[in-house]
Structures are given as C-alpha cells and as structure tokens.
Amino acid sequence: MADWLHFWENNETNWHSDTITQELVEYFELFELEPEDKVFVPLCGKSLDMLYIMNQGFSVVGVEISEIGVRQFFRENDLTYKITRVDDFDLYSSENLEIYCGDFFSLTSKHLNNVKAVLDSKSLIALEPDLRQKYVKHLNDIISVGARILLVTLQYPQHQMSGPPFSVDKSEVESLFSMTFESRELRSFNDIENGLKLERAGVDFINNAAYCLRKVRV
C-alpha cells in the first residue's frame, strides 16, 4: 500500500476518473438495497461513485489509505466533514458518508455495520497478484452473508504492460470468490477504444467485464 501513498503525494493519480462508473449506473438495482442499507467502497480514493450512491438515497462507507485523497474528495465536492479517531483510523464523516482513512486490512466487520453491498470498480485490479488473494479473503471476512458485490475488471496480456491497473480474467475471479460467493458475469466486451492508457502501452486487446457476486457462506 506504500506505493499508493507515493502516488497521491506525487499527484500520480491518472487512474482517477471524473465520471461515474457506467456499470454502477446500469446494475445498481442488483444490489437490492433496503432504505437503511449501506454500500462499501474499498480503496475509494476520491471516487465520484460515492456521490452517485448517496444521490440514490443510500449511505456509503469507504476506506482509503491516503489522507490526501480523502480530503480532496470532500473539498472538491463541497462537503463538510468532521474527523474522529476510531481504532486505527481517522474517520471522516458527513451526512450519509463515512470514510475510514487507514489500512483496508485493519477494517473489521464492526466498521461495516449495515453494509449490504460492495462496489469494487477499481480495487481488485489495482492490486498486484500477491495481494489480490489477501484482499478477497479479508473482504470476505468483514462483510455479512447475503451481501452483494458489483465487481468490474479488466483483462489484457499482462506481459505487455506492468500495471496498475492489472489484468484479472474470469478464471481468476472464479478462483478468488468461488468458495464463499455465487457469481454471475453481467457482461464482457472488448474495450480497446476506451482503454487509452493500455492502448498506448501497445496491448493487443482489453476486455472489460462486470460481475455480480453474492456471499452465500462464511
């Protein structure tokens, strides 16, 4: 995670998008949320997806290791906030929003009370292979049975570009989640036109995929 602190400190944040994740808009109803339910956004940065979820009338819980990213999110969106110390985190809270500033792997289930859905549009693909299994295991440990995940991935010839974002194919998704989750592939398509960074890197193809996962066992 130290690399991500370096990226924020040096303003190397070209992964940040100024648009809302298209799959979130298209598949939001698959979360099947009740009014009191919350949505968890791991490794949230300053993602505008959090605003979209809040605008649908639901509360968001995020976690982000960089204080710079958290403060930028509140400042750029004109949101007031307060900071309290909670366990190993500085908790930035506003109306319908809580962002834990600290290490994702220090989160526990008590920090995710009432979380019934998870948006992972850039988290899994941001992690190197040796961290992805650890990430999924910890995510499984801290969310409740029945929780749904909207997962967005990229697949490309990994040997042609070092990442991030990293290539995660369907077989890896199944390997990572199959023990405790039901999964359904929502769509998969060649997206070379929109993957500008990867296209410039000279990759042969970019496959964009989205999955709906539901935790069915501990």
d(CA 39, CA 51): 11
pLDDT by residue for the chain (218 residues), tens only, comes to: 657 666 666 666 666 678 999 999 999 999 999 999 999 999 999 999 999 999 999 999 999 999 999 999 999 999 999 999 999 999 999 999 999 999 999 999 999 999 999 999 999 999 999 999 999 999 999 999 999 999 999 999 999 988 889 999 999 999 999 999 999 999 999 876 666 666 677 888 889 999 999 999 99
Residue 15 lies in a domain: no
Per-residue CA distances from 8 to 1, 111, 187, 206 (Å): 11, 24, 32, 26
Residue 117 lies in a domain: yes
Residue 107 lies in a domain: yes
Cis peptide before 129 (omega within 30 of 0): no
Residue 17 lies in a domain: no
3-state secondary structure of 99: strand
- Residue 66 and residue 4 in contact, taking contact as beta carbons nearer than 8 Å: yes
Residue 173 lies in a domain: yes
Total domains in the fold of the chain: 1
Residue 58 lies in a domain: yes
| pTM for the structure as a whole | 0.94
Residue 16 lies in a domain: no
> Could you list the residue range(s) of the whole structural domain that residue 112 is in?
2-10+22-215
CATH code for the domain in which residue 146 is found: 3.40.50.150
For 22-79, write each residue's pLDDT tens digit. Answer: 999 999 999 999 999 999 999 999 999 999 999 999 999 999 999 999 999 999 999 9
